[in-house]
Amino acid sequence: MSWFKIPKLLENKEKNFSLFLNKNRCGGCQACVYVCPTGILEMGGELNMRIAYTPRVKEGKGKYCTACKRCEYGCPDWCIYILDESEKENMAKKAKA
Amino acid sequence: MSGIGPMYPNEKPENPYVLVSYAGHLLGNYSSRLCAGCGYGIIGHIFTRLFEDEKLDPKLYPLVLGIGCYSQMLLTVHYATQKVLSLHGRAPALATGMKMANPQMKPIIFTGDGDCLGIGGNHFIHTCRRNLDCIILIFNNSIYAMTGGQGAPTTLFGAKSTTTPYKMFENRSDGVKLALAAGATYVARTTVAHPRTFMKYFRKALKHKGTSVIELITPCVTYFGRKNLNNLGAEYLGLKGEKMDTAGKMIDWIKRNSIRVNQAKFMNEEELFNKYIIGEFRYAPDQPEYSDEYAKIQKIARGGI
Amino acid sequence: MRFMPEGKYLMMGNIAMSEGALAAGLNFFGGYPITPSTEVIEHLAARLPQVGGVCMQMEDELASINAVIGASLVGAKAMTATSGPGIALMTETISMAANLEIPFVFCDVQRNGPGTGYVTEPHHNDIGLMRFAGNGEFQVITLAPMSCQELYDLTIVAFNFAETYRCPVFIMSDAYLGHLHEVVKIPSKEKVEKMVIKREIPEDIIGKFSYKDESTGKYIIPKPPIMGTDYCPPMFLSQPHSLEGMPTPKPQIFTEMMIKKITSNIDKIALTDTYKLDDAEIIIIAYGLPVRASYRAVDLARKEGIKVGILRLITIWPFPDEKVKETVKDAKVVIVPELNYTGVIAEQVERVTNLNTPVIRIPNVCEIHHPHDILKVIKEVDK
């Protein structure tokens, strides 16, 4: 698991977005698990550098994600976030560079 | 603030809004120093995002922060904002002075429940009474979190805290009712478990001319969650609760414990006890705003009618 | 019309001070009614809107001092006026303003005694409170006028001190001086405008907070930052901060700067006045109202051939040690008439003379000294 590649939690080809998790900064607070309206996240088993369990997508539930970004808004450490591969006018493109 | 926070290798593609936050802008990588799952991290993040998306002019929206755990939001808010850390409870009074000296400004005030309804109650009441053009965000985690979890004016009945080790027996004060009685013209309450409604209310407050009071229910896991059971709002059901020791359980408890305004009309007193009623309580956009009225006084004083 | 037309006016002390503040460029006043100083807010409530300023009566003294700090942060010249109990409430904010080096002027119209006291009686009992107004170590500047004319002039000086040294500046008047009606000569508009230091953004934006220039050892006090403009630090944190407002790991350097920036400029700040002091053996050191009685007492004593002179302190804090030491070194005895019992300034004089010349106090509480009281003491001492 290389440090410099963010694990992509899920990839939605048609709507062309993917859910990223900055594993090492996650504090393991489970806020995203409970904020997600479709409930597709659950706490994973591995520990990260902050000795906290990080969230992961439940088996086969990846396709139910509607990119509502509640988990992105609800994360206190900016760890979990949705990035659209499609053209996105504001900040996301800059971050890609 | 000697240590800015845990620093981990910067991974690409980074969340775009990290670099917009003050410490992120300074150091290129940042995660909030608050306890895991604290609501203030979420609010700081949402505020930074809103400040960036709305393209707010930092010179016209100064931030006045009270004293509390949220004072650390100095580091998480947008890097271009101009920030003042006021004294405990005096943020609304400081903002009144700033607003009246420079009427184009619209100060955004971060206060806590103890900060605003406890020590700063008098200033909060009179700022709302004057209908000064500002946004007052009350973060209600129903505990004095920074000083170690003491009981606050908004601690729920029966809750445990370091200064109410047996049971909180006092009646709790309600920020929204106080704001309504004092005359604030846009009053709303939402919780951190509904981040998008907070963004909606905040955008509405930015455009509203007058005092807008938004109360936010935030979880404080370390001092409130770990010490209290999650049947706090549901005593009448007689459930045996378990400790809310992670943010997820607290956010779950907040979701269960917050009732929409319209739904609350059909619930009796017993069910509404220890519950948070969320929604918009008053929106009166055409009330006279204090600095406009004072501009009229200045015109009269100079001989106009 | 911010400036009153030139000429002589019969004015109350509080009104003269408000006019002085207006002449000095006041555009925000936050206040709360309290007995000896309500005339200030009443007068400014009528006058400030005429000049485009804002006069706010806040809900309590805490709110009014915080509003003044907020206004001063945003670039307005701000002032508040209160009395004993008010300053006691405001001390926490004064110490925060001292930390953030926010310039503001504070008029303390003193009244009697601890607690409520006789609200219409003068009693110089807040002098200690002004020097240590609030938690923490910092220096303040206190000016003590003795007449309505000086209330007008010293307010302009106070605003200039506030702008240059960015520290709390107090004007110490009292219940009698505030309500005294006297003739005040208002100078012409041009003359006043020349005296006043304006609040503007400097061209050479060197820094936002004061610092010690290591090469010269002098303390550089830049112009006060203005929020809402580019000349503003990223955050106003009332903790020991560096030039940019960020917290510093060494608070001692910050505290030393807070104190030294005033004490190193004491020659420019300490204003004193002398009266028939050249061949005097007995020296009267006084400030405020008792000075007026001592003028008469000195004239009477001089007629009887007693060599008496007055050293009048206009700046109480920082205490002008050098000037007092230099005038008192060959004096036989020092008399300090004061409007309080313990003799706050008499103690300072004793500290400066380290007790080799006797210091005699003439305490008076709630009534002004009569020239004959002072004359009697001068005669006793002369034998």
- pLDDT tens column, C275-312: 998 889 999 999 999 999 999 999 999 999 999 999 99
Gyration radius (Cα) of chain B, Å = 20
Average pLDDT over residues C372-380: 92
**pLDDT score at A89:** 45
B295 contact C CB<8A:
no
What pLDDT was estimated at residue B225?
Answer: 86
Euclidean distance between CA atoms B202 and C273, whole angstroms: 59
Is residue A47 within a helix (H) or strand (E), and if so which, with residue range?
strand A41-47
Surface of B (38-57) touching A: CB under 8 A: 38-42, 44-46, 49, 52-53
Decide if A7 is inside a domain.
Answer: no
Distance from CA of B66 to the nearest CA of A (A): 20
Judged by CB atoms closer than 8 Å, whether chains meet at B82 and C78 is answered as no
Taking alpha carbons only, the member of C281, C297, C267 closest to residue C374 is C297
Domains of chain B are 36-299 (3.40.50.970)
- Per-residue model confidence (pLDDT) at position B239: 80
CB contact under 8 A, A90 and B52: yes
Q: Do C237 and B95 touch (CB under 8 A)?
A: no
Question: Pick from B11, B42, B44: which is nearest to A74 by CB?
Answer: B42
In a domain, A91, yes or no: yes
Q: What is the DSSP letter of A46?
A: E
Q: Are B32 and A77 within 8 A, CB to CB?
A: yes
Please state which of the four CATH numbers 3.40.190.80, 3.30.360.10, 3.90.420.10, 3.40.50.920 is assigned to the domain occupying C271-381: 3.40.50.920
**In chain A, how many domains are there?**
1
Q: How far apart are CA C365 and CA C336, in angstroms?
A: 14
Residue contact B93–C76, C-beta within 8 A? no
Contact indicator for B260, B278 with CB cutoff of 8 Å: yes
> What letter would DSSP give residue B141?
-
Q: What is the pLDDT of residue B102?
A: 92
Asked if the structure places residue A50 within a domain, the reply is: yes
A8 conformational bin, left if phi > 0, alpha if psi -120 to 50, beta if neither: beta
CATH number at A82 reads: 3.30.70.20
* Spatial contact of C145 and C171, defined as CB atoms under 8 Å apart: yes
- Written in H, E and C, the secondary structure of C321-358 is HHHHHHHHCCCCEEEEEECCCCCHHHHHHHHHHCCCCC
Mean pLDDT of C327-335: 90
A95 touches chain B (CB under 8 A): yes
Q: List strands edge to edge, sheet with C282-286.
A: C272-275, C308-313, C282-286, C333-338, C359-363
Given CB atoms, is A2 within the 8 Å cutoff of chain B? no
Question: Would you write out chain A's pLDDT as a tens digit for each of its 97 residues?
Answer: 334 455 677 777 777 788 888 888 888 888 888 888 888 888 888 888 888 888 888 888 888 888 888 888 888 888 888 887 765 444 555 555 5
Report the Cα B274 to chain-centroid distance in Å.
19
C174: Cβ contacts below 8 Å, ≥ 6 apart: C36, C109, C110, C111, C122, C123, C124, C288, C289, C339
A68 is a domain residue: yes
Chosen for mutation from A29, A49, A81, A85 (greatest number of chain B CBs closer than 10 Å) is A29
Q: What is the DSSP letter of C187?
A: P
CB contact under 8 A, B98 and C70: yes
SS3 for A35?
helix
Cβ separation B94–C66 shorter than 8 A? yes
Provide CATH 3.40.50.920 ranges for chain C.
Answer: 271-381
User: Distance (Å) from the C-alpha of residue B51 to the closest C-alpha of chain C?
Assistant: 16
Domain hosting residue A39, numbered range = 19-96
Every domain range in chain C assigned CATH 3.40.50.970: 7-195
Collect the ranges in chain B with pLDDT lower than 50: 1-2
CATH placement of domain C7-195: 3.40.50.970
Q: State the residue for tokens 């706010």.
A: C56
For residues C61 and A2, the model is more confident at C61
The secondary structure element, H or E, covering residue A80 is strand A80-84
Token pair listed for B185: 């013209």
Q: Which residue has the tokens 């508040």?
A: C80
